[in-house]
Structure 1
Amino acid sequence: METIKNIEELYEKYKPPIYTYLYYQTGNREAAEELCQEVFLRAFKSLTSYRGDCSVKTWLYTIARNLHATWYKREVKYEMLTLDNIGEAEFISDKASPEETVEKREKREQVRNILNLLKEEYRSVLILCDIMEFSYGEIASLMGWNLSKVKITIYRARIQFKTLFESEGDNR
């Protein structure tokens, strides 16, 4: 089990992945940055109450997930969340040809659009599993679910994603 030595190490190690997770969830750089700062502020405030029941990573992602849920209810309410402003530089290699760059942008746009069509639960598990590369056990701990529910939800989310992906391809 990982121990927390100091808040600076914790911040340096986990800020990039927490920010990325929140960025995928919100689709907004400013909101992701603000939520990310709040995650570490809350972690710092509750550092003494961290019991080590779960990994530090899972603990921080749980804080991030709960903050996102609150933000989503408060800020977004009835709007459809878009991921349009995810930075191009994060996904494009300097070595890619112009054709490859265009193809990657189009594919990324298609994936973002499909993620936006999924219900929150499906979008969350796909981001955690397929983008953030969490294990099923970590997702179960983070979501407060049993392992069976995680597996079933990921399976259903992938089926829905695939169906939407294929139907969008037919519409092109």
Structure 2
Amino acid sequence: MQENYFIEQVKKGNTHAFKFIVANHQKLVVHIVGRIVLEHDEIEDVCQEVFIKVFQKITEFKGESRFSTWIASIAYHQSLNYLRKKRRLNETSFDEDVSILKIATAVTPEEIFANNETKRIVKQIIESLPLTYRTVVTLFYLEEFSYTEIVQITGMTEGTIKSHLFRARNLLKEKLMNSVLKEK
């Protein structure tokens, strides 16, 4: 795989090869950091810290997991470190649209408005979840990591991850139903 070549080149000190790694994984890192870090202005700084850490620690990557899992783990931990420094561990936000709901392509302006409104409501509901639930939902549903990979990224047990997903789904259903009932 081409990525392995670039990883080995970076391990040998080739900084130009690191550009490939950043380009291939920047979206993943921004996605994870953006869902944990509250302040939009700070996301870029935390992402830079993630890639600095990746560059510094790349010799420690042994290939026992996917490289994206390893980078996601660094992004997750750097984001939490940022929050700890800011003493805001319980506050996070989503800055991008939520893609949990598969909404059919709208045809009329009314349908477009309804779809955008649904996305906005789901995004707000997910933002209101506790950090651990939101993190697991992001990694499992949005980033499509397996339970094993989420264990590697977060350090939580598989049982804890499954429990958080179950509870998060129940909270999402409950809050979504309450939101729908309020509108009627």
Instruction: Check whether the contact 1:26–1:81 (CA below 8 A) recurs between aligned residues.
Output: yes
Structure 1 partner of 2:150: 139
CA contact (8 A) 2:33 2:43 kept: yes
Find the counterpart in structure 2 of residue 43 from structure 1.
54
Which residue of 2 is the match for residue 68 of structure 1? 79
**2:23 paired with 1:8:** no
C-alpha spacing 1:82/1:52, structure 2 compared with 1 (3 Å):
closer
Q: Which structure 2 residues correspond to residues 71-150 of structure 1 after superposition, within 5 A?
A: 71-75=82-86, 77=88, 80-83=91-94, 86=96, 97-150=108-161
Q: Of 36, 41, 57, which aligns to 2:68?
A: 57
Instruction: State the identity %.
Output: 24
Aligned-partner Cα distance in 1 for 2:73–2:87: 20
Q: 1:76 to 1:171 in 2, by over 3 A?
A: farther
**Cα-to-partner distance string for 1:140-166 (whole Å, 9 max, x where unaligned):** 211112322222221111111111111
Q: TM-score, normalised by structure 2?
A: 0.77
Q: Which 5+ residue runs of structure 2 have no aligned equivalent?
A: 9-16, 98-104
Secondary structure of 2:86's counterpart equals helix
Task: Pick the aligned partner of 2:37 from 26, 30, 33.
Answer: 26
Once superposed, what is the RMSD of the aligned Cα atoms?
2.9
Question: Tell me, what secondary structure is at the counterpart of 1:166?
Answer: helix
Deviates more, 1:5-14 or 1:41-50: 5-14
Task: Give deviations 1:30-77, integer Å, cap 9, x for gaps.
Answer: 322221121111100111222223221111111111111122233362
Task: Name structure 1 gaps, 5 residues minimum.
Answer: 88-93
Aligned residues: 168
Compute the displacement of 1:80 (Å): 4.5
Q: What letter matches 1:42 in structure 2?
A: K
Q: Contact 2:38/2:91 (CA < 8 Å) preserved in 1?
A: no
